Amino acid sequence: MFEGVLPAIITPFKRNEHLAVDLEGLRSNVEFLVSQGVHGIVPCGSTGESATLTFSEHEKVIETTIDTVNGKVPVLAGTGSNNTAEAITLTKAAKNLGADGVLVISPYYNKPNRSGLIKHYTKLADLDIPVVMYNVPGRTGQNLSADWVIELAKYPNIVGIKEASQGYCGSGDAGITQVSRIIEGTRDEDFKVLSGDDGLTFPILALGGIGVISVAANVEPARMVAMYDYYQKGQINKARDIHYQLSPLFRAMFIDTNPIPVKKAVELRGMAGGPPRLPLDELDKDKTAQLQKVLHTYD
C-alpha cells in the first residue's frame, strides 16, 4: 500500500500572531501534490512540524488531508511520540479519522531499552492499523538497529520502516549498510523499506526498497515520481539521470533544519507555507538566495 513517492507534507501556517494552521492552504497543497501523480501523502511528520502542533491541530491536519485526498492515494499519518500513551491517543484518532496507516518515529529523548521499544511499537500495532516505523537517529538520539527492526517486522500490522539513519555516528551500522541489512533480514516477511532521505532513494530502490517518504517532493513532485516510475520500468539510466538532476535540490532542503528550507521553497513557488513555529525560525537572507538559485534551475 505504501510505496512510490509519498511527500512528507509541510503544515502551512498563517502569518498572524498565533501562526494558525492554514487549512485552506493545506488543501491547496495536497490537491497540487495529488495532481502531480504522487503515490501517497504523509501529514504530521517531522516535516509537518508535529512537535509544535496541539493534539487538536494534529487531528485537524490529518482530517483535512484525508478529506482532500478523498481516497485517491493512501494517507500515512504521523502519530509518533516519546510518550507511548500519547502515541496511542494520536494513533487511535488517526484510525478513527480514516488514515490508511500511521508513521511512528522511534521515541526521542528517552532512549528506551530494547524491551521498552518493542512494547512501544507492538502496543500501537495492536490497535489494528498498519504501522510504519520511522528511524531518524539524528533527531531521536538513538538508532533503531537492524536487529530490532527485523524482530519487529514479524509482528502483525508492523508493515515497514522509513529509514533515515544516514550520517548517524553512534555505534553499529547506519545508512545504506543498515538498509541492506534490514532488507536482507526481512525478505521472508511482508515488510517494506522506504527511504527517509531523498538522496538515498535511488540506491535504496536498487537494494529492494519500495519508495521514499520525501521532503523534496513538496517542491518537485513530478520529477520525483518520474525518477521512481523510470526505475520501476527498468529504465535505470533515466532514473539515475533524474536523481542527479534533483541532487542539488536534495542538498538545498537541508541547508538549515528541516522544514525551514522546504517551507521557504514552497512559498517561493507560490504555494502555502508560512513561517515555521518557534523554536525554528525562518530561513535567513543569504540561505534564501542560495535556495532561490537552486530552484531557478528547475524552472
Break the chain into its structural domains and give their ranges.
4-296
Residue range 182-196, pLDDT digits in tens: 999 999 888 999 999
134 is catalytic: yes
Q: Rounded to two decimals, what is the model's pTM?
A: 0.95
Residue range 226-253, pLDDT digits in tens: 999 999 999 999 999 999 999 999 999 9
H helices then E strands: how many in the chain?
Answer: 12, 7
What was the pLDDT predicted at 170? 59
Catalytic residue from among 14, 60, 155, 162: 162
Report d(CA 202, CA 238) in Å as an integer: 11
What was the pLDDT predicted at 102? 98
Report d(CA 272, CA 227) in Å as an integer: 25
C-alpha cell belonging to residue 231: 526505475
* Superfamily for the 4-296 domain: Aldolase class I (3.20.20.70)
Q: Is the pLDDT of residue 172 over 70?
A: no
Report d(CA 36, CA 188) in Å as an integer: 34
Q: Of 87, 84, 92, nearest to 50 (Cα)?
A: 87
Sign of CA dihedral 38, 40, 43, 47: negative
Report d(CA 147, CA 153) in Å as an integer: 10
Report d(CA 87, CA 67) in Å as an integer: 22
Catalytic residue from among 95, 108, 109, 134: 134
What was the pLDDT predicted at 237? 98
Q: Is the pLDDT of residue 173 over 90?
A: no
Report d(CA 120, CA 112) in Å as an integer: 9
With vertex at residue 102, the alpha carbon angle to CA 239 and CA 68, rounded to the nearest 5 degrees, is 75
With a pLDDT cut of 70, the percent of the chain lying above it is 98
Q: Is the pLDDT of residue 1 over 90?
A: no
Query: Which value, in Å, is the radius of gyration of the alpha carbons in the chain?
Result: 18
Q: Of 252, 206, 257, 196, nearest to 227 (Cα)?
A: 206
Instruction: Give mean pLDDT, residues 69-82.
Output: 97
162 is catalytic: yes
The larger pLDDT score, comparing residue 11 to residue 299, is at: 11
